[in-house]
Structure 1
């Protein structure tokens, strides 16, 4: 088996049944350096067959419970049990271990430790999956605020809970708080929110649609399209909203071509698909005329064949 980290100090070793936490044999503090600019790590995970063969989740939990019997109040073991159960989608079982780990860490001298952020986020995820009552969820959010009032992840999870509860205006307030801080926030823990920012923007777009806020719908759709201009839903909603707001086809054309290229065939076809669906005939003809004669002929033939197939 290949080593994942190569040691150059015999006093540093792994501890823990599963997660191999690095510690100094003489309990000295370790100096950690950010080498992310110098090192690239490729982790491909386990194949489905390998996971089935080893039954890795069950194996990990067996090892962790064995560790817990030896050290019943070991904070890290409690945390890892909770996370392993979450991987197994056993959110109801995971929650007590995460709550116990949270209380232990909050009552220790390490009450601002980065691990506490991760524990809070895991607790929020479990509560969302279990549809925990609003009062309990808010109390947990308030406890997280004592730790950090600016953490974007905490605001997002509170907003997500309000969204699922149908409290849409309140949900928007917390999504806005998340976006307010996320650009400048210095993370000390591995965020589960950052990698899904596009999805969160899509949820915010849905909230603006539900609350009928055309200006915000347009702004959020454009933001999503700046990241991925081939996100059809955002393009359709943007164009539809502009049309329903009474904007002229000339204005709609100006907005769309601030995002899309007039010389890219893929961009042109994407716009054609939307404006035809929304019966924006003048804009459809304008975009169609941007195609070369051969492209235009092929497109019209394709549409005719598509209509025949229907």
Structure 2
């Protein structure tokens, strides 16, 4: 039996399989020595996979997901190569601290740790352990985390790069951030093994300083957002299954707790150093 261990925001995962598991450079940053896991992902192989329901709440050519007697289940179709058609790849079910995965024999020699984690719904598992994955760029500055969020194309990566250029901040992730309570009980920002097209992905955790929602404008201005306004603006940026009542409950409860403790700001900005100065002054000079 092969095993690899990873950790994201303090949540430890053990991946086990009847075949070797491949990894990659970015994911290796989250690798940890073997120990007692919080969650196990157990991979087996079969010539034929269970048949998924003909209709499910999530139903695309690549993915299906549903609940069966309260247990979350999923099914994936993948291509072995770009020219191949989609074919049944894996079936899984998650109950408690174990996700069982059954992979098609055709994929035995192509078992990648990243694909195992994402196919097993990593972000959903983290949500069960109190972690929100937010569509946000994450920079670490003076030992604290600043998150830039907003609709695609609004300038998250640009603002993160400006903080790196003008203040020497470290860009931890250009696309996704895990928010979870840290060792001191407060909310922290953590890197996670998905970075979209930014390619920036580091295993760093810091206490959360601020959540910043972005808008482009002719001037650089900062204003605080109230709880309900911030909730409505941030919830669409959270990774959760909108059809699943359990995930809706978990996501809204964690986000509500976060917003009672964490300031949220609206930054209307240009792509220049003035945006950095405006936010820095508001966060540190008040």
Q: Structure 1 length as normaliser, TM-score?
A: 0.21
Q: Structure 2 length as normaliser, TM-score?
A: 0.22
Structure whose residues are more often helix by fraction: 1
Which has the higher Rg, Structure 1 or Structure 2? Answer: 1
Structure whose residues are more often strand by fraction: 2
